[in-house]
Amino acid sequence: MPVAPAARVDRFEIFFDLVFVFSFFIITRSTAQDIRGGALLHALLVLAVLWWAWVVHSVVATRIRLGEGFVPVLMTVGMAALFTFALSLPQAFHDVRGNAAGPVVAAVSYIVVRLVHLLLLRHAVRDSPDELRQMRRFVPELVGSTLLLLAAALIPPAMHGSSWAPLVRDGLWALVVLLQYTTGQLVGSWVWGIASAEHWTERYDLILIIALGESVISVGVGSNLIGQPPTLPAVGAAVLGIFFTAALWWAHYDMIGPAARIALHTAQGKPRITMARDAYAYCYLPMIAGIILFALGAEAIVSGITNPHVPNWMPALGPAVPLLFGGVMLYLFGNMLFQLRTLHTLSWTRVGTVGLLAVCIPLAERVPALGALALLTVICVGMVAAEVVIFEEGRTALRRLIFEERISHEAHEAAYRARWHEPNEPDEGE
């Protein structure tokens, strides 16, 4: 079934999203075991390739309803492949057994996911010769990504421990990312056609909420909070983690997200298509990457706080503080790019917050670990509080506009559904 102009997100789409977010969780978990520069690079490369699959998935979901007809059957095959891809992510760059099995499983399962999307898109445009011809412009990216991922899985093990093998592998993955995101800018705008602006914005807003929730789960699971005695520092760290995560949720969903939704509804034709591509498909990636990075930093800090063998006055060691603060900075930076692309504005409060976070990193590395978490929370909550006061007039106007829109929408729906309550015409002879 095609997607109607005012369609909302299908429940099956949310079901599918859970597997994507499980992949985010696996990326965080596997990277947390060995936080080094190389491991972080691998995590970001895998995330970029995974996010491109999500982008293609969202494009397919703008053409056909994923929960109707035979589509859920095919999508379940894609879910199984995506789940396999997520499970193989810890071995995506090297197999602990010293062979290519792990990287090959990751590459093949990713290819299956992409083929499912290609088949669905092919089915959606089967009756349009022009769109079929345009769709072929995406085939080189799919073939190139397939060959590069397989090469990254097979060539390094064949180099028999050469020092160049890791560089070749990382370079091939980087080429996959470059090929995919460059193709997204070069292919015809028809690919990004948005039948329902409401569906598109809701789709991305939901995945961001789930990713924020996954960061809370990751910190709770990986930082020894479960099963530990509820000490005052542990409870304090948990509360602070919830507070600054909620502040980051507020930073997007209080004003920027709703205003961007209206902006996408307002735009028509090619401006709508390019806004949807640039703001949602591209600017959301640094926001998701920032969530994973600050989850890694928060997990390391909370793990030290809950460790009975580490004094509470000890500062967080290693890259925990730079990851925590840097992840929040990257999230806010991506959100500022999103705001600039959709609303053509930039909030000085966000710019000031990013600068303050950068300045406070050396201080946070010297104070107790709980103090570093508290400092970040104060900055994030302070930004939210300042924006509530400073932009009160704009927030009020936005809320009024959204309320009026909902009333009008409900009135139209009520008028349409009134026919259901009309009495049936009596049959002849009655």
Tell me whether residue 396 is in a domain: yes
Q: Are 325 and 376 in contact (CB under 8 A)?
A: yes
Give the model confidence (pLDDT) of 45-60 as tens digits: 989 999 998 888 888 8
- Domain span holding position 384: 196-419
- Number of domain units in the chain: 2
- Asked whether residue 152 falls in the same domain as residue 209, the answer is no
Bridge partners, residue 64, by sequence: 2
Last residue in a domain, options 193, 227, 246: 193
Q: Let me know the angle formed at the C-alpha of 82 by 297 and 272, rounded to the nearest 5 degrees.
A: 80
Q: Are 180 and 48 in a shared domain?
A: yes
| 424 found inside a domain | no
In-domain check, residue 275: yes
Residue 341 falls within a domain, yes or no? yes
CATH number for the domain spanning 234: value is: 1.20.1410
| Whether residue 372 sits in one domain with residue 227 | yes
pLDDT in tens, 339-379: 999 999 999 999 999 999 999 999 998 899 889 999 999 99
Please check whether residues 212 and 294 belong to one and the same domain.
yes
- What is the full per-residue pLDDT of the chain (430 aa) written as tens digits? 777 677 777 778 888 888 888 888 888 877 877 777 778 888 889 899 999 988 888 888 888 888 788 888 888 888 898 888 888 877 777 654 555 677 888 888 988 988 988 888 888 777 777 777 777 777 888 889 889 988 888 887 777 667 777 888 889 999 999 999 998 887 755 555 677 888 889 889 989 998 898 888 877 766 666 666 677 887 888 888 899 999 999 999 999 999 999 999 888 888 888 898 899 999 999 999 999 998 888 888 888 887 777 777 777 777 889 999 999 999 999 999 999 999 999 999 999 999 999 999 999 988 998 899 999 999 999 999 999 999 999 999 999 998 888 888 788 878 888 878 766 555 555 4
**Final residue in a domain of this structure, among 193, 211, 226:** 193
Q: Are residues 54 and 171 in the same domain?
A: yes
Is the residue at 316 inside a domain? yes
How far is Cα 319 from Cα 311, in angstroms, rounded to an integer?
19
Residues 178 and 285 in one domain: no
**Does residue 429 lie in a domain region?**
no
Q: What is the pTM of this model?
A: 0.89
Tell me: do 83 and 227 sit in the same domain.
no
Last residue of a domain, one of 193, 212, 237: 193
Same domain, 203 and 345: yes
- State the chain's maximal CA–CA distance in angstroms: 92
Three-class SS of residue 94?
A: coil
Burial category of 78 from C-beta neighbours within 10 Å (exposed 0-12, middle 13-18, buried 19 and up): buried
Query: What is the DSSP annotation of 234-246?
Result: HHHHHHHHHHHHH
Do 143 and 254 fall into the same domain? Answer: no
Cα 237 from chain centroid (whole Å): 25
346 in any annotated domain: yes
Query: The dihedral of CA 212, 216, 221, 222: what is its sign?
Result: positive
**200 and 189 within one domain:** no
Whether 246 and 322 share a structural domain: yes
Q: Answer whether residue 425 is part of any domain.
A: no
Same domain, 219 and 141: no
